[in-house]
Chains A and B, each alone.
Chain A
């Protein structure tokens, strides 16, 4: 076990009394409670944490928070493993197992680095382009070489959930500004949520020394944090949440939060939730998201030990870890001087401060000089040396951005760089706002506030503690005042006035005196191995838009989404294009700020809860009788009922035979059912259906087609006239909700004056469809108050009566072409009536059949299924259904379209039957049809197969199809080329294959 060689003897917010054991890449280490995986590895002197994506260069920690690009680890094992975790955000717990997928010792792929001149941006696209069909195998190899993590292969058995919340003020970020905002809003009595991605509140204060010199309201910073959090936690209407990332800012103040409930302690216990996704609708949002430090770009700036200055301070002050023994600080602004002073205070050597600015002055520079730290002004680090750890840096004098004179080589094991600060404008920009470049602060700031939102703290460029506190306090007060609360009096928390500050001098890339492509690599985006030379190449090859350069060089992709490198990259691009940074602009900021787990997005809607399942009243009977089911919309419908080890086709043949020769029964409860009432019901339905309804007699049924206004069929069904102003409509199973919506839309928005209303009764009725020559006898056995005589109970009429002791509506309609009765009863009696039918039908060999037999029987009769034989591009005439159009009607929805020139012209696809030349072949549904299978490519396609089955009744296969001008082509042959190269020939026929005269139902 390794020693914590880099742990300071004191300081930090870790609990030295609680030692924690963990495993990284197979080796055991120890850390302390309060450590992150990153700080614990650093404490153990582990400098190489991963290998880079493309060149496989050794990489160490750069940051200390969500911006970390290199230390991307896989945490945990099995179904619960988490890929792409930032070691800087993984809290240490006993038994933590983490790994990086790349090899840390000798890595053969490191040869990519040696030959890197041959691997410029776009290399893979350019090189592996030919032959095109080999790309999948190239891609597999490339991905294996490049992977940063792996997905779990086993199911994740953990529980995730969703929470909806409303609040007056949501404060994002629990640093000084966020705390001040939440305090002011909370004190006014508002309902406040304060969220922070970290394990504890405090933000940037945690990275600073807990010194009285930084006191807030005369308390040390850490005491002030504790007191503030205690005050907030005691407020009834305030909710404070740590380990909770506001990952997305969506429209109308809808914010997505992901709360880690368990990962930080090694996973959830029994019955506990792992992640919770919060969907928050806030009246006001205060964004106090802080700022991230930019690294500086110079040669070999990716060597382990080269970090941002603020990360070095964070490891020192928050975790009590010194990343090394001798540091060189490289900066273009004041803040890194604080890091130099922190290092000194921790007893570590600062070899030099290299400052691009000339003659740095101000409070911090003076303090550094006083501490005896050598300052090299007007200078830059032009390259680093060392491979698995930085060993030294070469500095040079820089004038007007050009290399003036090479200077010393300074030995060191840490380089702390600061290129200035980039406000975390991500959330502000998620809803489309553009960030605005600020020349003075050399950073992008949030643009004008989004409605109901404001920003406070360093995200606005207020980099001093004093300013952050007053701004937070002010914005917290403004937010509640807008909502009608009375902000309490009293002053903002006060911090000491900052000393004199010397302005930042923007500096984007260190000159090497060589062309970008010839010098040592200058990394802009560490995670994607994008260098300044790659950006230059993109510009040479003609890319100008920052969005295109991003996609060509991969800059800004990956888990860090360019948090660290993007601004440097855009600035370098701007200078190469000889334009300003605002002209170049940023890439688009999109959610999520940091990766969100799939589990939390899914919540409980996984597995059997993924989608609602609808079951009919007879469902259990079907299950008990061996039905296999098919999904129709959300309905579970019996598909067929195999007996013993019967094949599917044998079962279908048996079901068809029984129905055609004796009796079959179908559970038709899933058909959509809508009641239409009102004095204008006739007038309204006359507009909805192609056929007339007005002249229907009470007690009769009529088949109807519904068209969209473009004349295309979209649903069909049977309408029964219950009373003069009362109809009962059936729709297709899948189309029911759409039809109701259709009726409501026309009524509400076009004809609100019509007195009519609609009631959805699909679930109220169970429907038992008894089909076959024996159906009358079965009904007669079950019902003695309806006269089933052929004349008394005519086809396309219905009767009300009592079936099996239950009040019922019995419809004499047929979807099989056989004599048939559909019994509709209160769904609560559905199973009772179904079983009664089965018992009464037993002497006649009644056979339950499912959707597949239903399809065969209806297709033999040429009955269409809307949505299967129609595809939204066929008219009633195309389907040969001229008869369904009311001859005397002036208007109905879609009518005008039926006389458009292109609807009445020739060449339209028309509904036909097909009989394959080889009757043992069932044409695949969806197959395209051609006239000449030898025709040159692209072969003209003349139609397609919409329904296709084997028919026991006919003794051969058959299909329904649409074919150009098909009605005049009966007897001709068309061909269907298949994906396997075979061609199926078929003869065009009438679409009615069985009992063309309709004699079988007319008995």
Chain B
């Protein structure tokens, strides 16, 4: 069971969290302008790397917040935890 460092609550057991898919999948600005193939790419295509993976988790049984995690899919080491669009906590800049 992972220990995930929620950016808002601190380290908690994995059972408090829910996986929420790959991170940084941006919804197209204007879906109507996309071809079926382009839309399908946004809808269905996800990376499945052996190694570093950018993913989203939600502290569903805690603060309820979504955040980004960089995790190694082989070693399960969590490299970083980040709030999308905000500087990481402890980041002085």
Max count, chain B CB within 10 A of own CB: residue among A251, A252, A744, A749: A749
Q: Check if A709 sits within 8 Å of B3, measured CB to CB.
A: no
In B70-88, which residues have CB < 8 Å from any A CB?
Answer: 74-78, 84-85
Q: Check if B1 sits within 8 Å of A251, measured CB to CB.
A: yes
Max count, chain B CB within 10 A of own CB: residue among A251, A431, A752: A251
Q: Check if A252 sits within 8 Å of B76, measured CB to CB.
A: yes
Residues of B within 8 A of A281 (CB): 3, 13
> Of B1, B40, B75, which one neighbours A250 at CB under 8 angstroms?
B1
Q: Check if A900 sits within 8 Å of B36, measured CB to CB.
A: yes
Whether, in the assembled complex, B58 has its beta carbon less than 8 Å from a beta carbon of chain A, the answer is yes
> Complex: how many Å from CA A750 to CA B42?
14
> Complex: how many Å from CA A254 to CA B13?
9
Whether, in the assembled complex, B32 has its beta carbon less than 8 Å from a beta carbon of chain A, the answer is yes
> Of B32, B39, B58, B84, which one neighbours A741 at CB under 8 angstroms?
B58
Mark contacts of A731-762 with chain B using CB atoms, 8 A cut-off: 1 yes-contact digit, 0 otherwise: 00000000001001100111010000000000
Mark contacts of A63-74 with chain B using CB atoms, 8 A cut-off: 1 yes-contact digit, 0 otherwise: 000000000000
> Complex: how many Å from CA A752 to CA B65?
12
A710-B43 in contact given A252-B76, A744-B66, A748-B65 (Cβ < 8 Å): yes
Mark contacts of B39-63 with chain A using CB atoms, 8 A cut-off: 1 yes-contact digit, 0 otherwise: 1100100000000000010101000
Residues of B within 8 A of A710 (CB): 43
Residues of B within 8 A of A895 (CB): 31-32
Mark contacts of B10-41 with chain A using CB atoms, 8 A cut-off: 1 yes-contact digit, 0 otherwise: 00010000101000001100111010100110
Q: Check if B27 sits within 8 Å of A252, measured CB to CB.
A: no
Q: Looking at the assembled complex, report how far the CB atom of B91 sits from the nearest CB atom of chain A, in whole angstroms.
A: 18
In A182-232, which residues have CB < 8 Å from any B CB?
Answer: none
> Complex: how many Å from CA A900 to CA B31?
12
Whether, in the assembled complex, A609 has its beta carbon less than 8 Å from a beta carbon of chain B, the answer is no
> Of B39, B65, B74, B75, which one neighbours A900 at CB under 8 angstroms?
B39
> Complex: how many Å from CA A744 to CA B59?
12
Whether, in the assembled complex, A272 has its beta carbon less than 8 Å from a beta carbon of chain B, the answer is no
Q: Check if B32 sits within 8 Å of A749, measured CB to CB.
A: no
Whether, in the assembled complex, A347 has its beta carbon less than 8 Å from a beta carbon of chain B, the answer is no
Q: Check if B3 sits within 8 Å of A741, measured CB to CB.
A: no
In A694-711, which residues have CB < 8 Å from any B CB?
Answer: 709-710
In A250-304, which residues have CB < 8 Å from any B CB?
Answer: 250-254, 281
> Complex: how many Å from CA A250 to CA B76?
11
Q: Looking at the assembled complex, report how far the CB atom of B39 sits from the nearest CB atom of chain A, in whole angstroms.
A: 5
Residues of A within 8 A of B30 (CB): 891
> Complex: how many Å from CA A251 to CA B15?
13
Residue of B nearest to A901 (CB): B36
Whether, in the assembled complex, A789 has its beta carbon less than 8 Å from a beta carbon of chain B, the answer is no
Whether, in the assembled complex, A897 has its beta carbon less than 8 Å from a beta carbon of chain B, the answer is yes
A451-B77 in contact given A709-B43, A895-B31 (Cβ < 8 Å): yes
> Complex: how many Å from CA A253 to CA B76?
12
Mark contacts of A51-83 with chain B using CB atoms, 8 A cut-off: 1 yes-contact digit, 0 otherwise: 000000000000000000000000000000000
Residues of B within 8 A of A744 (CB): 58, 64, 66
> Complex: how many Å from CA A710 to CA B39?
10
- Tier of interface size on chain A: 20 to 34
> Complex: how many Å from CA A709 to CA B40?
10
How many A-B pairs have beta carbons closer than 8 Å: the answer is 60
Residue of A nearest to B60 (CB): A741
> Of B18, B31, B58, B77, which one neighbours A896 at CB under 8 angstroms?
B31
> Complex: how many Å from CA A748 to CA B27?
13
Q: Check if A254 sits within 8 Å of B66, measured CB to CB.
A: no
Residue of A nearest to B32 (CB): A896
> Complex: how many Å from CA A250 to CA B18?
18
> Complex: how many Å from CA A266 to CA B43?
60
Q: Looking at the assembled complex, report how far the CB atom of B7 sits from the nearest CB atom of chain A, in whole angstroms.
A: 12
Mark contacts of A886-927 with chain B using CB atoms, 8 A cut-off: 1 yes-contact digit, 0 otherwise: 000011000111001100000000000000000000000000
Residues of B within 8 A of A901 (CB): 36
A252-B74 in contact given A749-B66, A890-B32 (Cβ < 8 Å): no
Whether, in the assembled complex, A679 has its beta carbon less than 8 Å from a beta carbon of chain B, the answer is no
Residues of A within 8 A of B76 (CB): 251-252, 431-432
Residues of B within 8 A of A741 (CB): 18, 58, 60
Q: Looking at the assembled complex, report how far the CB atom of A930 sits from the nearest CB atom of chain B, in whole angstroms.
A: 31
Residues of B within 8 A of A254 (CB): 1, 3, 13
Q: Check if A745 sits within 8 Å of B36, measured CB to CB.
A: no
Residues of B within 8 A of A432 (CB): 74-76
Residues of B within 8 A of A752 (CB): 84-85
Q: Looking at the assembled complex, report how far the CB atom of A864 sits from the nearest CB atom of chain B, in whole angstroms.
A: 24
Residue of A nearest to B1 (CB): A254
Residue of A nearest to B40 (CB): A900
Q: Looking at the assembled complex, report how far the CB atom of B16 sits from the nearest CB atom of chain A, in whole angstroms.
A: 12
In A321-365, which residues have CB < 8 Å from any B CB?
Answer: none
> Of A251, A253, A750, which one neighbours B27 at CB under 8 angstroms?
A750
> Complex: how many Å from CA A890 to CA B29?
11
Mark contacts of A746-787 with chain B using CB atoms, 8 A cut-off: 1 yes-contact digit, 0 otherwise: 001110100000000000000000000000000000000000
Q: Check if B66 sits within 8 Å of A745, measured CB to CB.
A: yes
> Complex: how many Å from CA A752 to CA B68?
14
> Complex: how many Å from CA A709 to CA B26?
13
Q: Check if B58 sits within 8 Å of A745, measured CB to CB.
A: yes
Residue of A nearest to B21 (CB): A745
A891-B85 in contact given A251-B1, A252-B1, A897-B39 (Cβ < 8 Å): no
Q: Check if A252 sits within 8 Å of B2, measured CB to CB.
A: yes
Residues of A within 8 A of B26 (CB): 750
Residues of A within 8 A of B84 (CB): 748-749, 752
> Complex: how many Å from CA A431 to CA B64?
29
Residues of A within 8 A of B27 (CB): 709, 750
> Complex: how many Å from CA A254 to CA B39?
41
Q: Check if A891 sits within 8 Å of B39, measured CB to CB.
A: no
Residue of A nearest to B26 (CB): A750
Q: Looking at the assembled complex, report how far the CB atom of B37 sits from the nearest CB atom of chain A, in whole angstroms.
A: 10
Residue of B nearest to A710 (CB): B43
**Chain A residues proximal to chain B, CB less than 8 Å:** 250-254, 281, 431-432, 451, 709-710, 741, 744-745, 748-750, 752, 890-891, 895-897, 900-901
A254-B1, A891-B31, A895-B32 given; name 12 further pairs at CB < 8 Å.
A251-B76, A252-B76, A254-B3, A281-B13, A432-B76, A709-B43, A710-B43, A741-B58, A744-B58, A745-B20, A750-B27, A896-B31
Q: Closest 9 interchain pairs by CB?
A: A896-B31, A252-B3, A748-B66, A254-B1, A251-B76, A749-B66, A900-B36, A251-B2, A896-B39
A-B contact pairs, 25 of them (CB 8 A): A251-B1, A251-B2, A252-B2, A252-B76, A253-B3, A254-B3, A281-B3, A431-B76, A432-B74, A432-B75, A432-B76, A451-B75, A709-B43, A741-B58, A741-B60, A744-B64, A748-B66, A749-B84, A890-B32, A891-B32, A895-B31, A896-B31, A897-B39, A897-B43, A900-B39
